[in-house]
Amino acid sequence: MADTAPANAQVPQQQAAQIQPCKYKTGKTLGAGSYSVVKECVHIDTGRYYAAKVINKRLMAGREHMVRNEIAVLKKVSMGHRNILTLVDYFETMNNLYLVTDLALGGELFDRICRKGSYYETDAADLVRATLSAVAYLHDHGIVHRDLKPENLLFRTPEDNADLLIADFGLSRIMDEEQFHVLTTTCGTPGYMAPEIFKKTGHGKPVDIWAIGVITYFLLCGYTPFDRDSNLEEMQAILVADYSFTPLEYWRGVSNSAREFIKRCLTIIPSERMTSHEALSHPWIADTPVKEGEDLLPTVKKNFNARRTLHAAIDTIRAINQLRAGGGAAMIHDGASARDPAKIVENSRPVDEDVMELDSRGNGRGQTEEMIREQERRIRETQAGLWGQRR
């Protein structure tokens, strides 16, 4: 990659790369993406620990603009807001690009919630307020994040009062305020994407507010508002804002103010959506009542875990269907274990959806324990029968 520079320099697109030896020692893996891995690292000279996003140059061939963009965004906002992950260093070696950031030791947002002893609506409002504050800062600096989701919200430390951090700016864009700032690239995570992204009519700052609405809904019940059987159906629901506060048993303890906040975020027409500063002034965010009302943790935790179990089950069933349809040979030839359906390769034969059916993602909302156990039983029986037939 030629268009790179160290952290204390500008990033002109025609500047040749400055190659230098790695001054960090990497440790355990913290996460992984399609073209990068995030590792814990220590600065060899100072002994300080950080997180390093290690990007493989070979895997990034043709997508270098994503890295340049992430660097430019992080450099512009680093150290400017307590709820934004700080870029500490940037450099490249012969084989990799390195983005070194603060080490967020507190874990992901929803994992943290599930470990709590209790969780109230006011706790959700606090989390949304912190996120909105950072988003308002980004918007004030002409930056759209475009990929806000719980997985990109991390805590700085394990302490209860730790700062919530917005991370991963790989899909952000610095917007030139003097130009007509609309973005037409389809990007992001489908369930959190705004209608205008799918329409490809141009989009800007309002897409982050839409994502805030989806996150808020998720924080209050444990599932997302547009979860459907497929990405296509999910997109169709998003385009017409087809969602509701159901089942009622999971929303009975949520205030009307919270619901109204979500509605103001999940507005189809971008210009009618709240701005980040208007959202910060909304009564649900601006007013900070004492913790009272219903403990949402049992519902949120149950629905989140049921959703995670169902999605994992669907992945397993799809893999088993592929094996039954003849994909097993492809797996073996690609070096994957035929006894591990999770390792099925992407270029195997199409799934025969009629081989075995499973409750759809849309029915994953608020599953009962009996439903989950029945699905797991069916998977175990199918796996046992499949592996028995192949011996």
Report the binding-site residues for ATP. 53
What are the φ/ψ torsions at residue 31 (nearest 5 degrees)? 180, 170
> Residues 252, 368, 192, CA angle at the centre, nearest 5°?
65
List of residues 6+ apart from 90 with CB closer than 8 A: 4, 5, 6, 7, 71, 74, 75, 97, 98, 99, 100
- Tell which residue, 194, 220, 192, has the closest CA to residue 207: 194
Q: List the beta bridge partners of residue 90.
A: 99
Dist. CA 245–CA 158, nearest whole Å: 32
Residue 47 is classified by DSSP as -
Going by the DSSP 8-state scheme, the letter that residue 183 receives in this structure is B
d(CA 86, CA 212): 21
CA-CA-CA-CA dihedral for 308, 299, 285, 257, to nearest 10: 120
Tokens of 47: 């002994």
Whole-angstrom Cα Rg for the chain: 22
102, 147, 168, 227: the active-site residue: 147
Q: Starting from the edge strand earliest in sequence, which strands make up the sheet with 24-32, in order?
A: 24-32, 36-43, 49-56, 96-101, 87-92
Measured CA to CA in angstroms, residue 239 lies from 232, 235, 260, 307 at distances of 11, 6, 19, 23
Residue list, annotated binding site:
53
Structure tokens given for 9: 């320099």
Is 147 annotated in the active site?
yes
Give the three-state DSSP class for 380.
Answer: helix
Tokens describing residue 328 = 């097993």
Active site residues: 147
